[in-house]
Structure 1
Amino acid sequence: MARFIVSLYLIICGTLLFGMIIPFEGEREFSPSMRQQVQQRVRVSGEERKPVTPLFKQVAEEFSLQPEILYAIADHESGYNPWALNIEGHSIYPKTREEALSIIEKNRRKSFDVGLMQVNSYWIGKFDLSVKEALEPEENLRLGAWILRYCLDKYGNNWKAIGAYHTGSPRNLPERSRAYAVKVMKKYQQLLDKADGNKK
């Protein structure tokens, strides 16, 4: 009996340890606590935000990123247009927030990307955010930074993480994922070189 209890204890401890070291993928990644954490991060009140200019610097610091990578993605995704949309592969550039929201409302059952960082409706739904919140430039940038941080933590500091920002996983459309990463990384390197040149 004692052997059975010891064996059972070792199996339970081993299972718990395995789960801590190698987390299971899938819906577990989007637990209620994680969803709440992202919502709070996105909905930080104005008084709690540091008055750092530009905003890209502040958000980059929050997520341990270089501002240049956020600039590179925003440049590639939307050309810094805060109301830019993509509805199932078709880019649209509304002139106002209201026009953008109206277009989204008409296409709400389709897959769409919104704002500076072209955040996909998948992420908006996962974190139970409204499209209006996700479209706001500051919230959009913060949510895009969170997605990028998530991809970097999951896939490492390489092209796969950058590609995953666009396709969800480097295994989804691998050629498209790599091509996206190459374009963003090229812009990122140009911005880094420019920043280094300004320091000299």
Structure 2
Amino acid sequence: MGLRVAAALIVLTALAPNVHGYCFKKAGARYGISPLLLKAISDVESNGDIHAVNYNAASGTVDIGHMQINSFWKKHLGAHYATLFDACYCTMVGAWILKQCIARYGYDWDAVACYHTGCGVADAKSRAKRKRGLAYIRKVKKRLAAAKQP
């Protein structure tokens, strides 16, 4: 019996990356966003760790899941906020947030900066926020370029 459970866990672990890829494709199709861009954001945010939790001492907020959804969004998500450790749900929420940034800045790098900092680089009120946005864009571009390599 124990051997069967171990074998099942090995199979499920091997399948997990494919399920995760499916999540990016599904969210990308729903919101008109490249699945590769969503994956690159996930990689930068948490290295794809679906159990990632980061506490932001300065702001008193928490980032949850592989897309690092900030607790700011809790009021919009309601009870579903607790579901952010589900890979597909977290991907869908991340794509929804990015889509709001795209509506504001267009489908360009300012929208990617907005996902991370809450505003585009041009709208950043402080030099520090502008630098954070630019650094984030560079990281996502690097991950995106690596994902496109054969």
Scaled to the shorter chain, the TM-score interval is: 0.7 to 0.9
Aligned to 1:69: 37
Confirm or deny that 1:87 pairs with 2:83.
no
| CA spacing shift, 1:190–1:63, aligned 2, 3 Å | same
- TM-superposed CA distance for 1:137, in Å, is 1.7
Classify 1:148/1:138 alpha carbon distance in 2 versus 1 (closer, same or farther; 3 Å): same
Q: Residues 64 and 160 (structure 1 numbering): CA distance in 2 closer, same or farther, change over 3 Å?
A: same
- 2:90 and 2:20 mapped to 1: Cα distance? 17
Contact 1:124-1:134 within 8 A present in 2 as well: no
CA distance in structure 2 between the partners assigned to 1:149 and 1:121 by the alignment: 18
Closer/same/farther in 2, CA of residues 89 and 78 from structure 1, 3 Å limit: farther
* Matching of residue 155 in structure 1 with residue 105 in structure 2: yes
Aligned partners of 2:147, 2:57: CA distance in 1, in Å? 27
Q: CA deviation at 1:87?
A: 0.2
Question: RMSD of aligned C-alpha atoms?
Answer: 2.3
| TM-score of the aligned structures, taking structure 1 as reference length | 0.57
Cα offset, 1:70, TM superposition:
0.8
| Superimposed CA distance per residue, residues 135-193 of structure 1 (whole angstroms, 9 cap, x where no aligned partner) | 3222111000111111112111222111110011121511101110111012112212x
Give the Cα–Cα distance (whole angstroms) in 2 for the partners of residues 61 and 149 of structure 1.
12
Q: Secondary structure at the match of 1:113?
A: strand
Match of 1:179 in 2: 135
**1:160 aligned partner, one-letter code:** D
Cα distance in 2 between the residues matched to 1:180 and 1:89: 20
Residue 168 of structure 1 corresponds to 118
Change (3 A) 1:88 1:67: same
Please report the TM-score for the alignment, with normalisation by the length of structure 2: 0.74
Q: Which has the larger radius of gyration?
A: 1
Count of residue pairs the alignment pairs up: 126
Q: Runs ≥4 in structure 1, deviation > 6 angstroms?
A: none
5+ unaligned residues in a row in structure 2: which ranges?
A: 1-18
